[in-house]
Amino acid sequence: MAEQEASGLQVLLSTLQSSCDKDVILNILSVLTDLLSLGTGRRIHYVISKGGSEALLQALATTARTEPPDHSTLLPLLRLLARVGQRDRKFGLKVQKAEATDIILSLARRNLGHHLHLTHCLWVLRVCASNVTTGTTLGINGAMELLFKVITPYSKRHIRTVRAAIEALAALLKSKSNSRRAVKRGYLGGLLRLYQDWHHNDVSNNYIYTRRGLLLCLKHITNIQLGRETFLGSQGMEILFTSVQDCLPCKNLDPIITIVTQILRKCYPKESLPVVTVRSSYFFPLPGNAKVEPPCEGLEGDYESDGEEEAEKDLDDEDVESKEEDYDLETDVNKLRARPVLDRPEEELGQYEAMCLELSHSFQELESESEEEKSLEDRAESLPTTPSHFIPNATSVKHPNYKWRNQSVTEMGPDPGEKDFKVPLQSWTKKEECRWDATDEKRDTGEAAQYADSCEEEDPARSHALTLRPLPKEAAWYKKIFYPECEASISPSPGGRMESSDIVTSLLEKHQGDIPFHSPSFYIARAKCVKSIPDYKDLAFPDFWGHQPPPYSKPMLERKYGIQRDKVLDDVRRLIQPGNVIGRTVFDTDEASHSSPGAPGCLTFFSKFESGNLRKAIQVREFEYDLIMNADVNSNQHHQWFYFEVRDMKLAVPYRFNIINCEKFNSQFNYGMQLVMYSVKEALQGRPCWLRAGHDICYYKNHYRCSAASGGGMRGKCYYTLTFSITFPHKDDVCYLAYHYPYTYSTLMSHLDTLEQNRNPKKVYWRQQTLCQTLGGNPCPLLTITAMPDSKKRDDLEQFYNRPYVFLMARVHPGESNASWVMKGTLEFLVSSDPIADLLRKCFIFKIVPMLNPDGVINGNHRCSLSGDDLNRQWLTPDSQLHPTIYHAKGLLYYLRSIGRAPLVFCDYHGHSQKKNVFVYGCSIKETLWQAGCMVDTAVITEDVGYRTLPKILDKVAPAFVMNSCSFLVEKSRESTARVVVWKEMGVLRSYTMESTYCGCSHGVYKGMQLGTQELEEMGSKFCLGLLILHLKSLPCSKKVMAQAALLLDLEEEITDRAQRSSSNSSLETDDEPPCVEEIDYNTDSCSDGEGDFSELDQENQECLSWMEAETEDEGVTTGQTCSSKALRGLYISSQPTSNSTALPLHSTALGVYSGFESSPA
């Protein structure tokens, strides 16, 4: 049957091409019209596949040669060509091959006096011009000059024809050569005057699409640099900015507002960032022969080549990345197979034996039952109180024998009499809050002082004086906080301020110790020993005082309609009304003079503290500031993380902040994410919380560019603006704003001190060592956590030594602070007295590097180390001098593999800025080959699917985790990441990167909520639960372990599926991240200007048919023999309803003179 239909259609098309009989041609056209009027576009594509376009073009050429032209045949033929051509991707090439361009232009010129015939010609001309090559040919042959004879100032006559001409012109101007020709002939100024005239006179908004067509012409012309320059010289910015103000109140005018905003943003003159150099303010000299280019000043004027199309590709780039995803997949099976390859001499691995002392520990301290009842004093004396550090380097003593040897090692730890802390697992949806005993504060202060003294003795250069940042300066507030019992006559020191030392003493007395696992004394002691490039002298209050999660979660911020275009237009207002811009620098790390308190009524900024990042602040208006982030050290890029202090604010005033040098092309700030804020006044009143804050938040491309000279060769790199408004809770407060919940290096080290102090040494084996020293001279901690053996019996020791390893890491990217909060939850659970944690410790030995890039965290980097390298791209061949933490972490993994103890699970904790939920990336040969479209011989390629077990478990036990977001593809561009290298070289099947969103969840119990620190910590503890269930499901277990598990876990209940999740999954990673799943227009809130939607052309055809029938009744012309009216109406049913019109007040403007229509026949 299908063959008969195909042969029948081919006969019709063949006859149409060869026949000269008018009636036969009309009948065939009628049949084709009826055929294409039913069903969907699939019929049209079928006709195209059978040569329909070629047949219609041949028929057009034959009919057009007759004298005079037979319009009864030409009109239905032109309608069919417009209908078919708009869906034929090669229509332009077919038109050229049939030499039909001159025919179409000739028909249009001959019908300038007849608007009905001309409209049909213009429809076909528009479709032909959609192909850039054909459009260029049409432009050379005078198509634009012809169209400008048709396009008239505002008139209610021949509206359909004028609109068709404008839209055909817009299609022609997609060609760069046509755009240049239009600019050189002065058409741009004429288009501006035409738009002003239509805008002014179309009071009732009846001709929105005609006005939009004129704007599309301007949009395409301004795609070239010459067009943008001419547009600026013609006052185009002012004209469009003024006109769009009239449109903003009317939602029906969104098609116009959208394109105007795109044009204004694109034509905004490009500028360099207002900084001396785009390179980091901080420079670190590298060891050895490694060289870093010193900061260089950026040159202006080389943003892009003359005549090049501007990078108007925000959405297109995302599409290209999606299309190229499969091309990045590794399809070489030999490369995908795990192949252990050493990147260093084998004898070097011996040095890592000292990091696995648990395998040689004799546990002499485990005494008999009676000896365990000795006094706590005697017990404590046998335990050292300071950790033993081993720092491997190139000259370390080599150990040729890596097999573990029995050695007598004394386990370190605090007084065993210290009480346990516990992280209950009651609900497994929210972690129950733990309170740290405030009575330990005095002891902590003493121990912290001892640590600071020991730090100074070991390295006097490391310890330095630190000053707590000044508190709010209001005298009355000081009295209320520090002197609540004093009379009003008593006042603090002159100026309403106490001395810094007095403040710290008073604060330590006031601190109630009610923030779990945080001690300000420990923090100060650790912070004194931190080495930083700026040599920090100040402590940020939130890090000193601590953070307590609020008792509630905050929903994602609902996006205000039109907020993005409003912000873009606000930026344009600066250009048009420069007199309203203050432009005063109030903070600048490059200029010390700008870092002092600013003018009265101006906010005061500061960021020179650990993990701080704010380079410059410029006051734009009274309550608006432009902010510039610092690049990563020894780099000119990676602007995302920010953390800074602001003070001297007014009450109940919304302050607007614009961070103008962001780099990622999209952000979750467009989809409900908020930054975080910490108020000192709130903290001292008992609410020490980082809270989600900010409104009117959006993220979009701005007019700043990085020149080739200053951008390291990246020509015309675009910057993006993150804009948000904050209404501060108190007058003259001190507040801190950050990209995400900060977690500094000193916070980690003091947290480890607290955990070690509070663990139960009878149950928890804890060893803290130094993996290595970083480039900046800071120790990178390595933890070993497991359960102490039950006794010194051989079976118990054998069980201890044979426990499988789990290797965990976090914070290789400094700006991903959420990874540290997840790690915090993991650590607190692992050392807790919860029975599930106790059982987990008996199942595994945990090797943990909680912060793999301390230098980056300390100096406020977002992605790199002090070498300017992304450390998660150095795992293939790490340099021992430039990437010491990666080099030695990989060396430790090599050592474990060499002794037959490769980890069962490897997981690298990360943060994700462009996706929601928590998920993992893993590695699979088969899934990668299947995704790439390769044939997979299952008999040759076998693979253990156990890599999916842990993610499936987490999907069931962790509320924030989503299995559908996980990916197990291996990309070529990710071959040097930890996940892929550990999978390939160490042979670890379960090698993962676990990504935690900065934003919130789209599924499960946290759906629609932003994740806080409590939820992130919960994820860390749930990961531990997942490991325990993995052990029970995948590994042989003793009856004793299974019996304990049966008592603690109802596996049937724990693994029960929750509600079915549905989530779009993207496997493409961009900087370890796939692009956003949501679509985004960087200019306005609309998804598209709709210029490529030919359904409007169908609507025009339908309207024109009705109009044509009315005209023929008046003129007495018979056209019904072409095809039935019913068939024609069925062919051109519109898919878009006409919007209701709303009248707007419009302004008048002068208009140029254009040639109009010749008189139509009566």
Run of H or E residues at 584: strand 584-588
pLDDT category of residue 1143 using cuts at 50, 70 and 90 = very low
Distance of CA 912 to the CA centre of its chain: 7
Residues 222 and 735: their CA atoms lie apart, in Å, by 43
Q: Are 755 and 518 in contact (CB under 8 A)?
A: no
Residues 634 and 891: their CA atoms lie apart, in Å, by 26
Predicted confidence (pLDDT) per residue in 656-704, tens digit? 999 999 999 899 999 999 999 999 999 998 899 999 999 999 999 999 9
pLDDT value of residue 338:
62
3-state secondary structure of 275: coil
User: Which regions of 183-232 does DSSP assign to beta strands (E)?
Assistant: none
Predicted confidence (pLDDT) per residue in 371-384, tens digit? 444 443 343 333 33
Active site residue 995: yes
3-state secondary structure of 651: coil
Instruction: Please list, in sequence order, all residues whose beta carbon lies within 8 angstroms of the beta carbon of residue 1157, skipping any fewer than 6 positions away.
Output: 112, 113, 115, 150, 152, 157, 158, 161
Give the dihedral sign, CA 1045/1050/1051/1054: negative
Between 12-16, 223-227, 816-820, 881-885, the lowest mean confidence (pLDDT) is in 12-16
pLDDT value of residue 1098:
61
Comparison of pLDDT for 1132 and 68, the residue scoring more: 68
Instruction: Please list, in sequence order, all residues whose beta carbon lies within 8 angstroms of the beta carbon of residue 839, skipping any fewer than 6 positions away.
Output: 1028, 1041, 1044, 1045, 1048
Mean pLDDT of 199-226: 94
Q: For residue 1119, is pLDDT > 60?
A: no
Q: For residue 170, is pLDDT > 90?
A: yes
* Tokens matching residue 326: 């499969």
Mean pLDDT, the chain, rounded, equals 79
Predicted confidence (pLDDT) per residue in 471-525, tens digit? 887 656 555 665 555 544 434 443 444 456 667 777 777 776 778 889 898 999 9
**Which position among 985, 995, 1015, 1091 bears the catalytic label?**
995
Asked if the bond preceding 484 is cis, omega within 30° of 0, the reply is no
Between 5-9, 96-100, 653-657, 768-772, the lowest mean confidence (pLDDT) is in 5-9
| CA-wise closest residue to 283 among 627, 635, 1 | 635
Comparison of pLDDT for 408 and 931, the residue scoring more: 931
Q: Are 1084 and 564 in contact (CB under 8 A)?
A: yes
pTM: 0.81
* Tokens matching residue 214: 């004129």
Residues 1075 and 1084: their CA atoms lie apart, in Å, by 19
DSSP 806-830: EEEEE-SSTT-HHHHHHHHHHHHHH
pLDDT value of residue 483:
58
Between 919-933, 982-996, 1055-1069, 1144-1158, the lowest mean confidence (pLDDT) is in 1144-1158
Residues 39 and 752: their CA atoms lie apart, in Å, by 69
Between 511-520, 745-754, 1019-1028, the lowest mean confidence (pLDDT) is in 511-520
Mean pLDDT of 1031-1046: 78
C-alpha distance from residue 120 to each of 38, 205, 638 (Å): 22, 25, 53
Comparison of pLDDT for 971 and 449, the residue scoring more: 971
Instruction: Please list, in sequence order, all residues whose beta carbon lies within 8 angstroms of the beta carbon of residue 920, skipping any fewer than 6 positions away.
Output: 907, 950, 951, 954, 966, 992, 993, 994, 995
CB atoms < 10 A from the CB of 1047, how many?
10
pLDDT category of residue 581 using cuts at 50, 70 and 90 = very high
Comparison of pLDDT for 328 and 152, the residue scoring more: 152
pLDDT value of residue 452:
52
Between 60-74, 826-840, 1021-1035, the lowest mean confidence (pLDDT) is in 60-74
Number of H helices, E strands in the chain: 41, 20
DSSP 1091-1155: TT-THHHHHHHHHHHHHHHHHHHHHT---TTTS-HHHHHHHT--SSPPPPP--------------
According to DSSP, the residues that pair with 698 across neighbouring strands are: 723
Residues 936 and 1067: their CA atoms lie apart, in Å, by 20
Q: For residue 727, is pLDDT > 50?
A: yes
pLDDT category of residue 16 using cuts at 50, 70 and 90 = confident
Predicted confidence (pLDDT) per residue in 285-299, tens digit? 988 766 555 444 333
